[in-house]
Structure 1
Amino acid sequence: MIGKSLKLLAGIILIPLALAASSDDWVNGSSPRSKVKINLDWKFYKGDTLITSDFRDFSENLTSVDLPHSWNVSDPFDEEKGYYRGVAWYYKNLSSELLDEDKNTYLYLEGANQTAQVFVNGQLIQTHKGGYTAFCVNLTPYLNFKEDVLAIKLNNEHDESIVPLKGDFNFYGGIYRDAYLISVDPVHFDLSDHASPGIFIETPTVSKQKAEIRVRSKLKLNRKLPKGLKIRTVIRDSKNNTITESTVAVTSKVAKEVTQTLEVSNPSLWSPDHPTLYTVTAQLIQSGVLTDEITQSIGLRWFDFDPDDGFFLNGEPLKLVGVNRHQDFAGMANALPDDYHVRDIEMIKSLGANFLRTAHYPQDPAVL
């Protein structure tokens, strides 16, 4: 029954009365890692070119833009057939103030449609396919920490290998979600697994009496396993009270991935009317020194679906009333600031809806 539920509810978000965690909540302010938004002061060129290392040589051909940005704001809606689906470039100088030679520096893009090639100082370092998923690139080996130039080549042409292939919506091109630089200690939670924060949280069993929380941490280490490395995981309630915690040593046998299982007795269950959230904080500690920390929100609930009696949340029937929602707005294409996403969710909630179908693709982290 649960398997059927997961298939039926794929792409659907139950909407709480209070908005849940924002897209930045997995970065704790006290963490040794930093996450800096780099949305401002980009240069843009629509068309193909081979200049990747010093875009100042053809600056007269560039326009200044801020992110989120799409090059299809107008042409899908004019009197001419079709709209531009092709190559465009984004350029940015990475100032020395943004970089730390003692840290590992990652570029984190929440979304860029749809094939992205990332260059640093003229060198191609990574290609990402998929316009609706985040990706994370380790820039560190390619930086000179003086006058570094970041270049991103995008292509939103139709590609049979990239879904969705077609739909009743436009396939806008652009870096249309937020961009960040993330700096972390050389020993850190791994950011390279599909742009995840490095920890993965599951709830194998949840009931009114007990919730089991499984936390799987992936680590990015030096060539040798550091001595005295531990992972401390803490679960706190909505009032920031510590409920339970677990500390485990990272040994050579389990290096690079560690799983901890914690229990919460008599959990406060999540529902749209009572959107109670716990937080899970994972700390990476080396010889008593905090080297990385991540905090994520989690709601404890269970659900299933009966073909005759309908949907059940936490053992109680719940009538689902909802809508579809696209990431799209007049005059912006799909390049919406976070507050527009929040406003849409508030509007949908005010209509009496309690779930949302994110048609037809993963939407902005602010929505999730």
Structure 2
Amino acid sequence: MTAGSRPSEEHRRTRRLEQGWRFHRGDVENGEDPSLDDSEWEAVEVPHDWSIEGPWDPDNPGDQQQGFAPGGIGWYRRELPDDVDGEPTLRLDGVYRNFDVYVDGEHVGHRPYGYSTVTYDLDEFGVSGGETLAVRVDNDEYPHSRWYTGSGIYRNAYLIETDSVAITPFGTDVRTTAANGHRAEVQVLTEVENAESGAVDCALETDIVDEDGEIVATAGSETTVEPDEAHEFEQRLSVADPDRWTLNEPTRHFVRSVVYRDGEPVDDYVTPFGIRTFEWTSDQGFYLNGDPVTMKGVNLHHDAGCLGAAVPERALERRLETLQDIGCNAIRMSHNPPQPELLDLCDRMGFLVVDEAFDKWRHEGADEWFDEWWRRDLAAMIDRDRNHPSIVCWSVGNESYDQGDDSMLDDLAMLTEATAEMDPTRPVTYGAAPWGGDTAGMIAQLEDIGEHVDVLSCNYQEQWFEAFREAGLDKPIISSEAKPFFLGGEDEDIGFIAENPWFGVADNDFVAGQFIWSGIDYLGESREWPNKGWATGLIDTTGAPKPETGFHESVWSEEPMVQIAAFDQDRERPAGRPNWSWPAVSEHWTFPDRDGSRDFVHLVTFTNCETVELYRNGEWMGERELADTTDRMIEWYIPYEAGSLRAVGKEDGEVVAEHELETAGEPDRVELEADRETIAADGRDLVYVEATVTDDEGVRVPRADDEIRFSAAGAGEIVGVDNGDLDSNEPYVAESRSAYHGTCIAVVQADRDGGPLEITAEADGLDGDSVRVAVGADD
């Protein structure tokens, strides 16, 4: 075991069911029948999202909610491995939606909700190997979501084989009951089931292993488990001098649980966790390991632009890296359980998480299944996710349309009580919409909601925070959705007050933090055709921060920074909701219409430095102090002159940060840059290749819109193209894309053979470029 890696499991087998699937778009009579000839079906790999392939059309029934993407019905089939050994369990991490599972024509299970991880015991269906597994997916009924969902088996699928005496799926519950720098007390609850026809004497050995592979605590228990019953072991372990999980050093530990039968190990299961404590307070915000932490967070939906809803782990990691670079330290999973890989990354990289179960409960079509399924879907999230140290709060829902009504409060009580019963170690919340009508009405709604939640999650209510406290709402408060720039009005949530909602957090110690809506642009909740999605996030669908993100970096990041942005009313932007928008700003110094006119350009410098100096073509244009601003934005009016514009940030008179813009000439060539030089030959890893249209000096041409044609030769293939323009009618699954603000990307996925990979870009009238990436090893 290498440092930081997860211990291996030696007595159970977990196989990812990626390859060997056949797919048919549309319904099929007797699609579950093993004798059905599916040889002409499309060969696909899972995860798979058929909606992202299009066609995108204004007449698609998903309409604006789905970004005009198609839905429909689809069938997946494959044979199970021939060498199944032991008790087989099928695990599906996400199938959207309303799906049915069959084995050799026999119905195994059904699930309406598309975001739950589900497991099916296949032993009771006589599975021994080679059987036909079929999944019918019905994403044909609308409405069912307010954003793009994707369609199909869009998350990972696994076959897990264990002994007949084994730990149940997600059967460990690891709780740090106390921790400091000297000792941690850990309680481990482990459920072991016996599928035998007779009682079995078994023992459970539990080790806590650190990131260096050293066993730092151990415990053992014995019992008799009755046939077809499960027994929950409770064990308490003590870890001396533990490395605690923090945001800066997110150290993980691992619980390795080994089941013995007649003295022989028959099953083992590894659970990553983190040794940490946290506390939500009503007067001083949030504490992690006794230290105050302000949540600087964003809301994230589950799609990833051109990849749709089937998102490889590398795409998730890249998104989190970009967010971390601007100082983000918290994620609200809006508004459904995320794929497990995202939570693993939050654990490893150091993010705090609010994990959310549902959006609007009985609305958006859920009234047909909510009563029957809510408890199972809630339990699926909590059982799967409860050991992640990143998760510090459960959310049971968001903005129910009947918010404040007696029926809604009854549902809220039902959900929060069940959540506290399933996991008493974390607080429970609900994302409250600003629908009280005015200040008094909102206070009245939150008083009712506050009777059932531990944390008040307030969407777009920063203007009322002080009034909430004065009214006696003595609960921890979080700004669970915040607009990026505008503040709502005193007696309304829809306002255009240019007072950034961040100051509702910064100026009130009792507010634990904020989550911007949204962190990254997403598909769905569109404007009119051809708009495909929500375009007012901090980061666009290519993963590039927008110019205005510099403000959030300046108030979130501890690293010295300065960034120039020019107010640019000519900047092309996709359709968005105005009150979630920033004023139009651009990160360039190319205004040819003003050349020679000496017209002023209105600028802003975002910074966390004491002072900023500005130079135009080497000429000193002045110095400003951050302390003199009221909104952390230093504004300038600079006569335009082509050339360069440079901002210098200083602390105590010393230069600590710089940012320079240069005027671009005419488009001359396409320059390519890959985000990594080497990727894994696993059929899943990705390299993002950015194409930039530049002049002959290598300066990006900000209004270039040339069509870029990509090609990949060698150990990979192009799986998507994007440019961040959600108004574009170009397909995502393609090999060409128009530049937008001078750039676009191709996402290239590795094959499983490895070797050199070359990506090339060409455009009419421009010099092309290519980059090489090693797949599997350096070449």
Shared fold, TM over 0.5: yes
- Superposed displacement of residue 309, structure 1: 2.5
Does the 8 Å CA contact 1:215/1:260 hold for their aligned counterparts? yes
1:233 paired with 2:206, answer yes
For 1:57, the equivalent position in structure 2 comes to: 37
**Letter of the 1:186 counterpart:** S
What is the 5 A alignment of 1:78-93? 78-81=57-60, 82=63, 83-93=69-79
Task: Report the CA distance shift for 1:252/1:333 in structure 2 as closer, same or farther (over 3 A).
Answer: closer
The amino acid that maps onto 1:96 is D
Aligned with residue 219 of structure 1, among 189, 192, 204: 192
- Aligned residue type for 2:51: N
Using the TM superposition, give the Cα deviation of residue 175 of structure 1 relative to its aligned residue in structure 2, in angstroms: 0.4
Query: Structure 1 pair 55/170, CA: closer, same or farther in 2 (3 Å)?
Result: farther
How far, CA to CA, are the matches of 1:146 and 1:200 in structure 2? 32
2:191 aligned partner, one-letter code: K
Shift of 1:273: 0.8
Show CA shifts across 1:52-77 (max 9, x none).
122642543x2221111112114474
Q: Deviations over 1:326-368 (max 9, x none)?
A: 2212332101112211221222212221111222211111111
Q: 2:328 aligns with which of 348, 353, 356?
A: 353
SS at 1:251 equivalent: strand
TM-score normalised by L of structure 1: 0.82
Residues 178-200 of structure 1 deviation map (CA, whole Å, 9 limit, x = unaligned): 11111111111112xxxx2x211
The letter for the 2-side match of 1:289 is E
1:259 and 2:239 equivalent? no
Partners of 2:33 and 2:314 lie apart in 1 by 34
Q: Residues 277 and 144 (structure 1 numbering): CA distance in 2 closer, same or farther, change over 3 Å?
A: closer
**Aligned mates of 1:71, 1:315 — CA distance in 2:** 47
Counterparts of 2:136 and 2:238, CA distance in 1: 46
Of 84, 93, 111, the residue aligned with 1:128 is 111
* 1-structure distance, mates of 2:206, 2:81: 35
- 1:65-80 matches, within 5 Å, as 65-75=44-54, 77-80=56-59
CA–CA distance in 2 between the matches of 1:86 and 1:289? Answer: 50
Cα shift at 1:30: 4.4
Match of 2:222? 249
CA distance in 2, matches of 1:293, 1:38: 21
**Segment drifting more, 34-43 vs 261-270:** 261-270
Change over 3 Å in CA distance of 1:332–1:218 after alignment to 2: same
How far apart are the structure 2 equivalents of 1:124 and 1:278?
Answer: 40
Residue equivalent to 2:145: 166
Change (3 A) 1:252 1:190: closer
Kept in 2, the 8 Å contact 1:94–1:150? The answer is yes
Secondary structure of 1:130's counterpart equals coil
Structure number having the greater helix percentage: 2
What is the TM-score of this pair, normalised by structure 2?
A: 0.40
Contact 1:214 1:261 in 2 (8 A): yes
The DSSP-based 3-state class of the residue aligned with 1:172 is coil
Q: Distance in 2 between matches of 1:252 and 1:39?
A: 35
Specify the SS of the correspondent of 1:276.
coil
> For 2:308, what is the secondary structure of its paired residue?
coil
In 2: Cα distance, 1:332 partner to 1:326 partner = 13
For the structure 1 residues 179 and 144, does the alpha-carbon distance in structure 2 shift closer, same or farther, using more than 3 Å as the test? closer
In 2, Cα distance between the equivalents of 1:145 and 1:241? 37
The amino acid of 2:108's aligned partner reads: I
Whether the 8 Å contact between 2:87 and 2:163 is mirrored in structure 1 is yes
Number of residues of Structure 1 aligned to a counterpart in Structure 2:
329
Q: Distance in 2 between matches of 1:352 and 1:211?
A: 29
Counterpart of 1:210 in structure 2 is 183
Q: Map residues 194-209 of structure 1 onto 2, 5 A cutoff.
A: 196=170, 198-209=171-182
Residue 280 of structure 1: CA displacement?
0.9
- Give unpaired runs (5+ residues) of structure 1: 1-19
Pair 1:96 & 2:71 matched:
no
Deviation at 1:127, TM superposition (A): 1.6
The answer (yes or no) to whether the contact 1:74–1:331 under 8 Å persists in 2 is no
How far, CA to CA, are the matches of 1:260 and 1:158 in structure 2?
47
The answer for the alignment partner of 2:519 in structure 1 is none
Matched letter for residue 109 of structure 1: L
Alignment of 1:334-345 (within 5 A): 334-345=309-320
Checking the alignment, whether the CA contact within 8 Å between 2:49 and 2:154 is kept in structure 1 is: yes
1:333 aligns with 2:308: yes
Q: Aligned partners of 2:338, 2:271: CA distance in 1, in Å?
A: 18
Do the aligned partners of residues 65 and 287 (structure 1) sit closer, same or farther apart at CA in structure 2, a change above 3 Å counting? Answer: same
Change (3 A) 1:51 1:77: closer
1:144 shift after superposition: 5.6
What SS is found at the alignment partner of 1:348?
helix
Cα distance change, pair 349–211 in 1 and its aligned pair in 2 (3 A):
same
Q: Deviations over 1:286-337 (max 9, x none)?
A: 1221101111121111122334432221111122212222221233210111
- Equivalent pair of 1:230/1:247 in contact (CA under 8 Å): yes
Tell me, what secondary structure is at the counterpart of 2:324?
helix
Q: CA deviation at 1:33?
A: 0.4
Conservation of the 8 A alpha-carbon contact between 2:177 and 2:186: yes
Alpha-carbon offset, residue 38 of structure 1: 1.3
- Alignment CA distance shift 1:159-1:138 (3 Å): farther
CA spacing shift, 1:59–1:70, aligned 2, 3 Å: same
For the structure 1 residues 74 and 256, does the alpha-carbon distance in structure 2 shift closer, same or farther, using more than 3 Å as the test? same
Q: Which residue of the partner structure matches residue 137 of structure 1?
A: 120
- Retained in 2: the 8 A contact 1:76–1:170? no
Q: Distance in 1 between matches of 2:149 and 2:42?
A: 22
Matched, 1:34 2:7: no
Task: Look up the match of 1:181.
Answer: 159
Residues 259 and 223 (structure 1 numbering): CA distance in 2 closer, same or farther, change over 3 Å? farther
Structure 2 letter corresponding to 1:345? L
Change (3 A) 1:337 1:313: same
1:232–1:166 CA distance, 2 compared to 1 (3 A): same
The structural deviation recorded for 1:151 is 0.3
The question of 1:276 aligning with 2:276 is answered no
Identity of aligned residues (%): 27
**Residue identity matched to 2:224:** T
Structure 1 equivalent of residue 98 of structure 2: 115
> Would you say the 8 A contact 1:327–1:363 is kept in 2?
yes
CA distance in 2, matches of 1:159, 1:265: 55
Work out whether residues 225 and 255 of structure 1, in 8 Å CA contact, stay in contact via their aligned partners in 2. Answer: no
Deviates more, 1:181-190 or 1:135-144: 135-144
Counterpart Cα distance in 2 of 1:146 and 1:297: 31
Q: Judging changes above 3 Å, is the alpha-carbon distance between structure 1 residues 302 and 29 closer, same or farther for their aligned structure 2 residues?
A: closer
Q: Which amino acid aligns with 1:69?
A: H
Computing the radius of gyration over CA atoms, which structure comes out larger, 1 or 2? Answer: 2
Query: Which secondary structure does the structure 2 equivalent of 1:73 belong to?
Result: helix
Shift of 1:159: 7.7
Q: Distance in 1 between matches of 2:93 and 2:244?
A: 30
Measured in 2, the distance between the counterparts of 1:255 and 1:148 equals 28
Aligned 8 A contact 2:287 2:293 in 1: yes
Aligned-partner Cα distance in 1 for 2:275–2:241: 11
User: Structure 2 matches for 1:296-315, cutoff 5 A?
Assistant: 296-315=271-290
Distance 1:29 1:280 in 2: 11
SS of 2:76's equivalent in the other structure is strand
Ranked by relative contact order (alpha carbons within 8 Å, sequence separation 6 or more), the top structure is 1
Aligned partner of 1:235: which letter? I
